[in-house]
Amino acid sequence: MRRPTKERQRRLVKEKPKPQASVAMPMRFDVLTLFPGMFDGFLSESLLAKAIAKGLIEIHRWDIREWTLDKHAKVDDRPYGGGAGMVIACQPVFDCVEAVRRLGSPGELIMLSPQGERLTQPVVEQLATHERLVLLCGRYEGFDERIHEGLQPRLVSIGDYICNGGEVPAMVVIDAVGRLIPGVLGDEQSAREDSFAEPGWMEYPQYTRPPVFRGMATPPVLLGGDHGAIKRWRAEQARRRSERTNEKE
Ligand SMILES: C[S@@+](CC[C@H](N)C(=O)[O-])C[C@H]1O[C@@H](n2cnc3c(N)ncnc32)[C@H](O)[C@@H]1O
């Protein structure tokens, strides 16, 4: 029997936050996956690594396989009725989800699924209001339907295409939600000015030095120092871009 001991469970918690000056509770993500190693690079670079180090975000990875009672450590099986591929079985997922959710407040359980509601900026904003998100990543042909029926997760899709597993979609959720947590971005204003800050709104074009590169010039208004004119120019550019993007849909 491969029940995880307390010690093994402790070892599975890979990223321990190092709280610094922050007094707010960190937002907690639990990722339930068959491939926890896929998150190594993602969590150790850039803004997310800094947010973890500052104690703004906590991320715990759990290997679903650690919960299987199968003597060969199998987590999947052939689909009833025949057909291609393998289906993730109920037992390890139910046991893993239930054990992880018992650690503190249960949080919101999200199943990454191409059949879920589309991850749009309003959904991201809503997810960011939770203290804890438990992200369940599928693989192979997906989950036994009774996992949906019994655990009643919220299904979230990152778009109308199929990924090999839920790990990359879970990273997208963490990345998009994480940047809304106060203190994660160096400049809070930047999230308020990004595309989708308002439905259908696209950000204006940005330029940096040099003023001319390979014959392509920066619009003179941005170099002139007239902040009113810059604001009007940006608003007009944003309007045109929003129109262009929304026309494509
Ligand atoms: C190969 S997919 C299974 C697709 C499933 N057979 C179907 O047709 O709906 C394996 C896993 O990847 C994840 N996945 C794939 N595409 C996704 C998407 N667009 N959004 C969220 N999760 C996705 C899900 O966790 C899914 O269980």
- The CATH number assigned to the domain holding 85 equals 3.40.1280.10
Examine the domain organization and report whether 173 and 209 are in the same domain: no
Q: How many domains does the chain contain in total?
A: 2
Neighbours of 50 (CB within 10 A): 14
Query: Based on the domain organization, do 51 and 170 belong to the same domain?
Result: yes
Which ligand 1 atom is nearest residue 156's CA? 21
- Strands (DSSP E) along the chain, which ranges? 27-33, 57-63, 76-77, 87-88, 108-118, 132-136, 154-157, 212-213, 216-217
- Residue-wise pLDDT for 52-109, tens only, equals 999 999 999 999 999 999 999 999 999 999 999 999 999 999 999 999 999 999 999 9
Bigger pLDDT: 130 vs 23: 130
Contact present, 155 and 123 (Cβ < 8 Å): no
Specify whether 141 is catalytic: yes
Considering the candidates 179, 203, 205, 234, report the single residue annotated as catalytic. Answer: 179
Q: Are residues 125 and 42 in the same domain?
A: yes
Distance 46 CA to ligand 1 centre (A): 27
Question: Which of 194, 205, 234, 241 is an active site residue?
Answer: 194
**Cα 177 from Cα 192, distance rounded (Å):** 14
Asked if residue 95 and residue 37 are part of one domain, the reply reads yes
Convert the pLDDT of each residue in 2-45 to its tens digit.
444 454 444 444 444 444 444 579 999 999 999 999 999 999 99
Burial annotation 158-173 (CB, 10 A radius, 16+ → b, else e): beeeebebbbebbbbb
Considering 17, 79, 114, 205, which one is annotated as catalytic? 114
pLDDT at position 190 is: 77
- 179 is annotated as an active-site residue: yes
Neighbouring CB atoms inside 10 A of 129's CB total 10
pLDDT of residue 191: 79
Separation CA 234–CA 202 (nearest Å)? 11
Instruction: Quick: pLDDT tens for 151-173.
Output: 999 999 999 999 999 999 999 99
Q: Clarify whether residues 77 and 158 are in a common domain.
A: yes
Residues 172-207: pLDDT tens digits? 999 999 999 999 998 877 778 899 999 999 999 999
Give a yes or no: residue 95 inside a domain: yes
CATH of the domain at 244: 1.10.1270.20
Looking at the fold, whether 75 and 115 belong to one and the same domain comes out as yes
Looking from the CA of residue 88, the nearest atom of ligand 1 is 27
Task: Give residues with Cβ within 8 angstroms of 192, minimum separation 6.
Answer: none
> Residue 10's pLDDT is what?
45
Q: Tell whether 166 and 216 lie within a shared domain.
A: no
Q: Which atom of ligand 1 is nearest to the CA of 161?
A: 19
**The domain boundary residue, chosen from 163, 178, 193:** 178
Q: Do 128 and 59 lie in a common domain?
A: yes
- What is the per-residue pLDDT for 82? 98
What domain range includes position 217?
201-248
Coil/strand/helix, residue 49: helix
Q: Give pLDDT, residue 23.
A: 59
The full DSSP string for 165-206 is SSHHHHHHHHHHHHTTSTTSSS-HHHHHHSTTSSTT--PPP-
Q: Do 241 and 161 sit in the same domain of this protein?
A: no
What is the number of other CB atoms lying within 10 angstroms of the CB of residue 136? 28
Q: Which mutation among 163, 171, 175 tests ligand 1's pocket best, with the greatest number of atoms within 8 A of CB?
A: 163
213 C-beta neighbours (distance < 10 Å), count? 11
CA–chain centroid gap for 98, Å, is: 21
Pocket test for ligand 1, best of 88, 93, 120, 162 (most atoms within 8 A of CB): 162
